[in-house]
Amino acid sequence: MNNVVLTKTYPAPPLCEREILRYAGSPLADRETQNLLKQCLSIAKDKFVYKVCYCRLTVNILEDICDFGAFKVKSLKLSQNLKGCENVIVFGATVGVEIDRLISKYSRISPAKALMLQAMGAERIEALCDTFCEDIKRDLKTNLKPRFSAGYGDLPLDIQKQIFKLLNCSKHIGLSLNDSLIMSPSKSVTAFLGLTDETEKYVTNKCEFCDNKDCTFRGAL
């Protein structure tokens, strides 16, 4: 059903220690780093929640303008991503505020643990987004374009205001946006997800849309 905001709450997705270490900048971890990871898993593993709110919209694309009915946005990269789509899912996802509190606590007493907790939060929100995308693909019996977030390519960050207004993220999943366009909790994502009948296997790595080719956290494409 279009233009209706729905919510989902998930159990913890499978955890990938290798991804956590990649986000921590230590893909080839020594014993000390592995021990640090184990300590942080013990501290934080049960502190996450996994919540998503989302809405299905129609989209009409004219050159670099994407018209979602509720709002329009100018972005050549997004229009290229959604080419051929008639419908999109707009969603917000968060793993909750407790990880932010732990990061704040350990930044004062153990910067190394704070860094690893940051990496855990990044891995957890990405795992939640991947789980949600697979859920949508299965439930709607559709294929998906790669998810696309504000800040990717030329999609302006201030589109967040329209997304938050549409989804009422604060009410549905406790996710807020301040005047500087910073989300709270910090380990959260909003994105567009194109629905398509095309059978082409798309690369789902979000890094493909980023112009920073030398980023430390850039995933393998």
Which phi and psi angles does 151 have, rounded to 5°? Answer: 100, -20
Amino acid at 157: L
Q: Is residue 221 part of a domain?
A: no
pLDDT at 211 over 70: no
Reported as a pLDDT band with limits 50, 70 and 90, residue 27 is: confident
The average confidence (pLDDT) of the chain is: 91
0.95 exceeded by pTM = no
Reported as a pLDDT band with limits 50, 70 and 90, residue 221 is: very low
Alpha carbons 152 and 211: distance in angstroms, whole number? 8
pLDDT in tens, 118-171: 999 999 999 999 999 999 999 999 999 999 999 999 999 999 999 999 999 999
Q: What is the DSSP string of 96-161?
A: -SHHHHHHHHHHHH-HHHHHHHHHHHHHHHHHHHHHHHHHHHHHHT-EEPPPB-TTSTT--TTHHH
Q: Is residue 156 part of a domain?
A: yes
Domains of the chain: total: 1
Query: Which CATH number belongs to the domain containing residue 42 in this structure?
Result: 3.40.109.40
Residue 111 corresponds to which tokens in the numbers above? Answer: 């910067």
Residue 148's DSSP bridge partners are 192
Alpha carbons 212 and 4: distance in angstroms, whole number? 36
Q: Is residue 11 part of a domain?
A: yes
Q: Is residue 92 part of a domain?
A: yes
Residue 191's DSSP bridge partners are 91
Whole-number pLDDT of residue 198: 76
Whole-number pLDDT of residue 197: 87
Domain region containing 139: 6-209
Q: Is residue 46 part of a domain?
A: yes
pLDDT at 220 over 50: no
Q: Is residue 214 part of a domain?
A: no
Q: Report yes or no: 39 and 109 within 8 Å, Cβ to Cβ.
A: no
Whole-number pLDDT of residue 56: 96
Q: Is residue 219 part of a domain?
A: no
What b-and-e string marks burial along 124-147, b requiring 16 or more CB atoms within 10 Å of the CB? bbbbbbebbbeebeeeeebebbbb
The fraction of the chain above a pLDDT of 70, given in percent, is 89
How many C-beta neighbours within 10 Å does residue 83 have? 12
| Residue 173, helix vs strand vs coil | helix
Alpha carbons 106 and 42: distance in angstroms, whole number? 14
Q: Is residue 220 part of a domain?
A: no
Residue 54's DSSP bridge partners are 6, 91
H or E element in which residue 61 lies: strand 60-62
pLDDT in tens, 171-208: 999 999 999 999 999 999 999 999 998 766 544 555 55
pLDDT at 101 over 60: yes
pLDDT at 110 over 60: yes
